[in-house]
Homo-oligomer: A and B are copies of this chain.
């Protein structure tokens, strides 16, 4: 198992998730060693939740899992890029395709794109 440098960030590395077909950056999560190992072994993007202090398989609640198609590691071994097939067409809990749906434009924020799903229906909130 290839190991990453988890020391720089208290046991974590950032993981950039990119849509394998469009190149769109969908989200950034954090992985600890267990999340990295689970991602490699299962082929499903798995992160470490800093707020819940536990592993989470992306999409375990919504069904919008991320099938890992390619993994890239950076020059310093302290960051990874996951190229994924995003099941359900949306990565963000807001229902947007990408978590990066807020465009910074001349000092203000403009939301780009429409939600793909209704989060109230998916999460039952």
Residues of A within 8 A of B (CB): 1-2, 8-9, 14, 16, 18, 22-25, 27-28, 40, 50, 70-76, 79-81, 92-94, 96, 99-104, 107-109
Quick check: A16 and B23 within 8 Å, CB to CB?
no
CB distance from A47 to the nearest CB of B (A): 13
Quick check: B16 and A72 within 8 Å, CB to CB?
no
Q: Which residues of B contact A109 (CB under 8 A)?
A: 2, 73
Q: Which of B2, B18, B100, B108 contacts A72 (CB 8 A)?
A: B100
Quick check: A74 and B99 within 8 Å, CB to CB?
yes
Q: Which of B28, B72, B92, B99 contacts A104 (CB 8 A)?
A: B72
Q: Which residues of B contact A23 (CB under 8 A)?
A: 18, 22-24
Q: Which of B14, B50, B96, B103 contacts A75 (CB 8 A)?
A: B96
